[in-house]
Structure 1
Amino acid sequence: MDDFVCDTLAQAGLSDLIKVFKDEGIDRESFDMLQDADIEKLIPKMGPRLKFKNLFRRLKAEQTPNESPNHFPTHGHQKGEATDVTEVLRSTSGTEQGKRKSGQQLDSKGQPAAKRKCETNSSTEREAKILSEVREIMGDIYAKLQDDGDLNKFLKNEITKLSTDKREMVGVFGKTGAGKSSLINAVIGQANLLPIGDLNACTSVMIKVEANMEDKYEAEIEFITKEGWQDEMWSMWQYLCDHMDQENDDEDDDYENKLSAHYGKDRKQTKPDEFMDPKNFREIPEFLQSKTKTLTFHSAEMLSEGIAKYTKNDPNQGEGKKLKRLYWPLVKCVTVKVPNIPLLQHVTLVDLPGNGDRNKSRDQMWKEIVGKCSTVWIVADITRPASEKQSWQILKRTASLMGNGGECQNIHFICTKSDVFEDFQQHTAEDRLNLILDRNMKTKLAVKEEFKKLHNVKKHFSEDNFEVFTVSSKEFLVGELKEHSEIPKLQKVLQDLNDCHSETLNYVSGAHGILSLIHGASKRKEDDRIKEVCKALEENLTSLQTESINNEMKKIYKAFNALLQKGVEESKNSCEDNLMSTLYPEERDGRGFHKQLKKAVENEGVWVPKEGREININMKLASPLIDSIDKEFRKTFPNDGKCGPFNGAINKFSIVTKELKEKYKNVELELVFLKSEEERLKMSLNKSIRKRKKTVYNSLTKTIKEKMEDCYREAAAFTGRGTLQNMRETIEKHVHRSKNTMFEDAKKVMMNHLDNLMVDVLKTLEDTMRESIELSLETDDLSLPDVSAQLERVQKLHAELNSC
């Protein structure tokens, strides 16, 4: 530990932390590299931690452009003085610090971007300054509040709840060769970031792309579990042994590729009990230790090369070159962290395989991420996007996971390689432009017409949620026609997702409410009308507001119950006929279908081939139930957030009425707090409901799958002659025996989930507001600090934000 760290902490009044920093070996260089997670670990107590974070932000902000990244001035702002966060924005939002040797951020011509100010407009920069200043004020207030007393504890908890970390997820789908990686590279201005292979090598694992607050490139490799790999490996090995005399199909080749990728040319000579030998994992000991592997690089090119063996499936990687191990079969997800990318400050791009995975943990993660995406990009080659089956199959297959079963608001269909024409360069520049514009227009119309035909998809997304883009990553980076590529429009999509106006406003509104409460409570005198105010608020809470929400919920519950009952009857009457199209498909011969059905029953009723129609017995059986409630579900739990859940009942909630504020002027400040508490609580509940509604919706298919599990195990055990017919008969008999109870049970489970959600929402609403009323109005505490100056300042900032 050097004098710089010691002096910095001492001058800031944080001498108690000197020993902690010394024990952890924090010197001048590592001090500058501290991240939020490191600070949380170093300083577990909230008060000192908030003080240190304010100090850290001030030091960063005061750093001049000519100073090295590790130099901090040791003087600080006076209390109440606004912090200039231009440098903070620069360090966290994408300002380039000097020239990069490689992997640098590029301008539209593919050249290194010139050093510039933060790429945000003036209003965004002003909002960031306001948020930083209010955070600093609330950190100081938190440190002044005492640790004893109900009101002090309550206020500290309220300040803690103010912090939010917005993170939007954008999922990117597309078949091999469609240009997903090139698209992502172009949109974020990093031409050489994600590995771009030939058509034989495809991305086989999820890749998350996020901003890095440090000036370096990182990759975090998350592995599947040892147990998961062992189960999957044994299953694949056994399957290949059982079918070694039969002609291979694409899925068999996938099994072979997975095993050969990791175990190499000796795979067939390796005995099953040798597969988990530690010598096979020398380069990735983290896999056996169940840890995440972190790799650091100095450039985008180095990262791209370094992660290829963890992400790329290249069946020909051993031909004509030295055979090497590939680790993608063992990888669950790769998170790439890139410095100086403003568009990713609050956005994560996820390069997704087109379907789930045989490995259960990887498949579960895939479903969870698809369900969390607020926007989805479907990427297809512009040559024949309207008739390109795989892209539309991805959309049809994932629509329910993203819509009613997820959080997605918008689908963007992106047609890549818009500059690719035969003999393109032989035309004049004007002709090339006309060719591009004409095809782009026709392509958009054709794709939109194709979307109109997807009736099942349109249960979850309207035409207003669907937009088509035409892009050329190559043209955007280095071409003469770059202004006609719509990559800037996609960048605008990400910029809009980054917009934190609502989060900033919520934080400042909450801070204004808390400061109002502290000031009002500290100035409050003995007043008999306090009991009168509390009584009026309680009446509003119970008789007017929660009763209104409860009545709306009862209507919704009744509607779902009736719709599901119709779905149950339809399911009982049609389940056996519906099953026929799955068990006896006309377009598949018996031999090929036998292998696919076998894989489906081994995988709990689901098999998704590389191409062609999937087998999903659970979804087929549950479809009448799902169809019965799709429309009502989307209305009750919309993803767009305009109306809000439960037909807007939560958003309409308010116990602080205009009449109440006019009548009780003596507690005006306390009512300001209660109003801000209402808004914070409604925002929190809406987020919670958006997550929990996925459990409600997906419970129908989940229950059917559970009711079919014994049947699948029995069907999977058949081997030899007659296996196909035995599997079919086993499934048919089970459905026939179970149909009178299975669908009723699915309905009961869903209604229970819905009822529990409603009960929890009402309880949270009542309990939280009742506690807030009691502590803000009925608790006297003479130990509260004087916050009059801070309240006046935050009131001005709050008014400024509201005027935006």
Structure 2
Amino acid sequence: MNDFVRDKLTEWGLLEWIETFEEEGVDEESFYSLEDQEIAELIPKVGPRSRFKKRLKLLKKEQNTANPDTADAPAQVIPSPSGTRKRKSDLQGESNQQQSPTKKKRLAKGPGAYSEEIIQADVENIMRCVLKKIPDQGNNLNDFLRRKIHDLKTDKREVVGVFGQTGAGKSSLINAVIGLKKFLPSGSISACTSVSIKVEANMQNSNYEAIIEFITKEEWRDELWFSINFRLEDEEDDSEYRDIDEKLSALYGEDWKEKSDLMDAKYFKEIPEFLLSKEKILTTDKAKDLPEKLIRYTRTKQDNAEDKGTKRWYWPLVKCVTIKVPNADLLKHVTLVDLPGSGDSNKSRDKIWKTVVGSCSTIWIVADINRAASDKEAWDILKDACSYMGNGGQCNQIHFICTKSDPHSDADDTSKAGIRDFILKRNQQAKAKVKQEFNQLNEVKKHFSNESFEHSFKIFTVSSVEFLNPKHLNKEQTEIPKLQEFLQELNDCHKETLNYVSGARGILSLIQGASRRGGSEIKKDVCTILEEKMTDELEKVHKQMEETYQAFEKCLSDGVEKSESYCEKALESVINPRGSGSGFHMTLRSLVTHNGIYKAKTNKNQKKRKQKNLNMALSSYLTESIDEKFKETFPNEINCGPFNGKLNSFSLDTKRMKMDPEYEDVELQLEFLNAEEIKMKKKLIKIIRDRKKKIYSSLMTTVEESMQKCYDDAKGIRGPDLLNNMRETMRKHVHDSKNIMFKNAKKVMLNQLRELRDDILKDLKETMQESIELSLKTDGYSIPDVAEELDMVKNHHEELTGSAEEDQ
């Protein structure tokens, strides 16, 4: 077996079949000659076999296209829109000036390379040409077609959030997954615990880039005011105090206390982008050079020899960093985000943290294998973030990744077999312990349905060092290929090209159908049928949404009752916990200054204090009352639809109608309406997914707004008995407002649910009504003939799906 076969199976996500191909002696030549029966024997599973056959078919086509020597090959005959048949070699000989861009020969970069990119580029070119053909004269149909063509392209990305404390091996893991040794050295990405760092593919050029986004000048001014005033009041040995000193010393130097006007432009002359509220972009053509340029924006201290000459460190001003990697196929539609364990006291960084966690479809929790199950910080990260990634987000998978599973000197037997057995046993024990620990996290598990739990939570034991070691032959044992395969599956299920081509096919069907004359009676009949069907289908969706609204109203009423009864107990658990002494006023001052949230920082040789969120504690009975219903109504699982799947089941039945000979004269219009219906439902499901995050968080947000005056009053308290006076101020506020605060939170959530219901029904009705009217009630006298373009896009659609009809 040669490298070609191994590389192709790896590229296509068929790693588990490599050994079978090797045993059967399949090389590059026999690979291209495989027949159906032979493929079935090599790959007995239907799913992987179908994927292999589809990719092999495309690979053969691209090889033929990429081969410039066609003199000895028989001319390929392809259909012409006019009904005649032309040889492909004849078409290639036509003058480039006379032919449409879609007729030009398209060259692949090599066998199997970028097939979807080639198809998408070709269809985009076709649609640009069609757009130019649409007459400039303004009418509803022409304007509609232009809008639909412009709306075809989308850029949806899957986000994988990577959590883990410094030293857990996050950087090495990301390096191994993307295949770049020493690209992100240890400490460069993890040392600054407050900055979110995104890693994604550079699709524009071959450079390595880092895009640095800063917080605003106003935010830094506010942060300076709080830091200096907080420090002047209390210079005790407290984590918040040391955090402030570390932050200001990094930016201004150790003598920052002697400096005046810390907002003076002279301190930012090396980063004018900060003063101009612009992004700073670092670029290099070599992977190893980028981390060196990025050090000052991500590291918290000078811990390497090459850092000694650095005087200023700009991480306190950084909101987030996006690193773009060229030729990273696994990141084409995927973004890896190295995330801090929790949000940040800076509002911009905290907002980004919540937004990114809420957008993650997958979470990777990274911990050293030797203490994975007992790593309290790893589990705390998961518990702190679960509400933002579960009901308040879109996470449908959690992966716990035990790193550094490479051989160690503690193996009893130094032989290869002994080390292998030792590693296998240790990895199995680690997985069992992690699974046992996770099963006890009910607050995390409640965000996932019982049916999907086994699929949602997976454990990996990886060795980045061994995977990147060229002498290590068994890469599968490191389990890095499993993570790569997972990322490839995320790319494959993205279907950006298929969605674009399907949409283009629908639009071209509408244009071609509108260009035909006659059939007014059948159009009228079909229009009536579809409008009646739409009314019935909308009523089904409306009924389900109304039932959901009533259910939430009942749940929230129960939540309000419990909140009013137990809110003062919840308050005491935060502002007066067991064992809190006189020094607790520092924690409480920080909490009220940051609007009810105390974000503890881990310091060297100090036990981490638990994060405190008073808003979450006060709203906990409300959120608990709706958690189960919310999960059922807005599931994160890919195969489940919102509102018990009623939106997914909405259908005008156009797919069946266009197969009926009775409606042959309007087949193209029905093709468009079918594509439009599919696209519309996807758009609405995305809207619901985004809106549901705001709806879920509204309970805590409304409570925070109700508590704002309390926080403002408490942070202004000075003088003796400071701690008790702050506590009494907060107690009085909660006692006086509890009969209003929770009812108001219920009202806000129900209003948002009602608005979502109304907006979805309105958007669904108006969009489909407009599509029906413009496709069946409008005569396209000025519409161009696009039969040729439609035929080519249909061929591309068949290449992508493997059949003439899209599998819905």
Q: Quick check: TM above 0.5?
A: yes
Aligned 8 A contact 2:655 2:671 in 1 = no
Partner of 1:649: 646
1:170 aligns with 2:160: yes
Partner of 1:268: 257
Aligned 8 A contact 2:373 2:437 in 1 = yes
- Encode CA deviations 1:520-540: one digit per residue, 9 max, x unaligned: 211131523433322222111
AA aligned to 1:750 is M
Aligned 8 A contact 2:252 2:267 in 1 = yes
Aligned 8 A contact 1:151 1:775 in 2 = yes
- How far 1:205 moved relative to its partner? 1.4
1:596 aligns with 2:594: no
Partner of 2:801: 802
1:146 aligns with 2:135: yes
Aligned 8 A contact 1:211 1:341 in 2 = yes
Residues 568-587 of structure 1: matches in 2 within 5 Å? Answer: 568-586=560-578
Partner of 2:516: 523
198-207 vs 346-355, which deviates more?
Answer: 198-207
1:201–1:766: structure 2 CA closer, same or farther, 3 Å change rule? closer
CA distance in 2, matches of 1:659, 1:676: 13
Aligned 8 A contact 1:261 1:327 in 2 = yes
Which runs of 5 or more residues in structure 2 are unaligned? Answer: 1-64, 69-94, 602-607, 804-808
> Which of these residues, 319, 328, 331, is aligned with residue 344 of structure 1?
331
1:129–1:315: structure 2 CA closer, same or farther, 3 Å change rule? closer
Partner of 2:72: none
- How far 1:689 moved relative to its partner? 1.0
Aligned 8 A contact 1:179 1:379 in 2 = yes
CA distance in 2, matches of 1:168, 1:501: 8
Partner of 2:284: 297
407-416 vs 480-489, which deviates more?
Answer: 480-489
1:665–1:316: structure 2 CA closer, same or farther, 3 Å change rule? closer
333-342 vs 615-624, which deviates more?
Answer: 333-342
AA aligned to 2:230 is Y
Residues 53-92 of structure 1: matches in 2 within 5 Å? Answer: 78-79=99-100, 80-81=102-103, 84=106, 86-87=108-109
Partner of 2:30: none
1:77–1:324: structure 2 CA closer, same or farther, 3 Å change rule? farther
> Which of these residues, 487, 497, 522, is aligned with residue 480 of structure 2?
487
- How far 1:310 moved relative to its partner? 0.2
Residues 638-677 of structure 1: matches in 2 within 5 Å? Answer: 638-657=635-654, 660-661=657-658, 662=660, 663-677=662-676
CA distance in 2, matches of 1:747, 1:689: 19
- Encode CA deviations 1:159-178: one digit per residue, 9 max, x unaligned: 22221223111111111111
CA distance in 2, matches of 1:141, 1:537: 28
- Encode CA deviations 1:185-225: one digit per residue, 9 max, x unaligned: 11111112224239994554111111113111111111100
AA aligned to 1:565 is S
Aligned 8 A contact 1:204 1:313 in 2 = no
Partner of 2:777: 778
1:536 aligns with 2:529: yes
Aligned 8 A contact 1:444 1:469 in 2 = yes
> Which of these residues, 225, 228, 248, is aligned with residue 237 of structure 1?
228
1:447–1:640: structure 2 CA closer, same or farther, 3 Å change rule? same
- Encode CA deviations 1:625-675: one digit per residue, 9 max, x unaligned: 101111111111112231211111111111235675535333222111111
1:612 aligns with 2:603: no
Alpha-carbon RMSD across the aligned residues, in angstroms, is 2.5
Aligned 8 A contact 2:333 2:491 in 1 = yes
1:137 aligns with 2:126: yes
AA aligned to 2:582 is R
AA aligned to 1:763 is K
CA distance in 2, matches of 1:413, 1:150: 53
AA aligned to 1:767 is E
1:142–1:175: structure 2 CA closer, same or farther, 3 Å change rule? same
- Encode CA deviations 1:310-366: one digit per residue, 9 max, x unaligned: 001116689994461100000111111111111111111111111111111111111
CA distance in 1, matches of 2:360, 2:594: 25
> Which of these residues, 399, 403, 426, is aligned with residue 416 of structure 1?
403
1:447–1:770: structure 2 CA closer, same or farther, 3 Å change rule? same
- Encode CA deviations 1:532-586: one digit per residue, 9 max, x unaligned: 32222211111x1111100010110011111111111111111112222222222
AA aligned to 1:353 is P
1:627–1:378: structure 2 CA closer, same or farther, 3 Å change rule? same
Query: 2:253 aligns to what SS in structure 1?
Result: helix
Partner of 2:149: 159
Partner of 1:214: 205
CA distance in 1, matches of 2:656, 2:722: 75
AA aligned to 2:263 is M
1:537–1:398: structure 2 CA closer, same or farther, 3 Å change rule? same
CA distance in 1, matches of 2:397, 2:682: 21
1:619–1:512: structure 2 CA closer, same or farther, 3 Å change rule? same
CA distance in 2, matches of 1:801, 1:342: 18
- How far 1:285 moved relative to its partner? 1.0
CA distance in 2, matches of 1:320, 1:375: 34
Aligned 8 A contact 1:572 1:743 in 2 = yes
Partner of 1:626: 623
1:756 aligns with 2:739: no
Aligned 8 A contact 1:195 1:308 in 2 = no
Partner of 2:311: 324
1:564–1:315: structure 2 CA closer, same or farther, 3 Å change rule? farther
> Which of these residues, 529, 541, 546, is aligned with residue 538 of structure 2?
546
CA distance in 2, matches of 1:579, 1:420: 49
Partner of 2:374: 387
AA aligned to 2:681 is K
- How far 1:595 moved relative to its partner? 1.4
- Encode CA deviations 1:383-425: one digit per residue, 9 max, x unaligned: 1111111010000000010111111111111111112534459
CA distance in 1, matches of 2:328, 2:623: 41
1:199–1:765: structure 2 CA closer, same or farther, 3 Å change rule? closer
Query: 2:103 aligns to what SS in structure 1?
Result: coil
Query: 1:209 aligns to what SS in structure 2?
Result: strand
Query: 1:639 aligns to what SS in structure 2?
Result: coil
Query: 1:456 aligns to what SS in structure 2?
Result: helix
CA distance in 2, matches of 1:76, 1:601: 71
> Which of these residues, 229, 243, 246, is aligned with residue 254 of structure 1?
243
1:125–1:384: structure 2 CA closer, same or farther, 3 Å change rule? same
Aligned 8 A contact 1:83 1:133 in 2 = no
Aligned 8 A contact 2:655 2:670 in 1 = no
- How far 1:774 moved relative to its partner? 1.0
Aligned 8 A contact 2:192 2:300 in 1 = yes
Partner of 2:83: none
CA distance in 1, matches of 2:189, 2:326: 29
166-175 vs 493-502, which deviates more?
Answer: 493-502
CA distance in 2, matches of 1:129, 1:82: 13
487-496 vs 787-796, which deviates more?
Answer: 787-796
CA distance in 1, matches of 2:125, 2:300: 49
Partner of 1:684: 683
Aligned 8 A contact 1:195 1:305 in 2 = no
1:565 aligns with 2:557: yes
Residues 303-322 of structure 1: matches in 2 within 5 Å? Answer: 303-314=290-301, 321-322=308-309
1:139–1:492: structure 2 CA closer, same or farther, 3 Å change rule? same
CA distance in 1, matches of 2:457, 2:519: 60
CA distance in 1, matches of 2:329, 2:105: 21
1:367 aligns with 2:354: yes
Aligned 8 A contact 1:83 1:132 in 2 = no
Aligned 8 A contact 2:399 2:457 in 1 = yes
With structure 2 as the length reference, what TM-score do the two structures score? 0.82
CA distance in 2, matches of 1:363, 1:498: 29
CA distance in 2, matches of 1:138, 1:249: 63
Query: 1:387 aligns to what SS in structure 2?
Result: coil
Partner of 1:445: 432
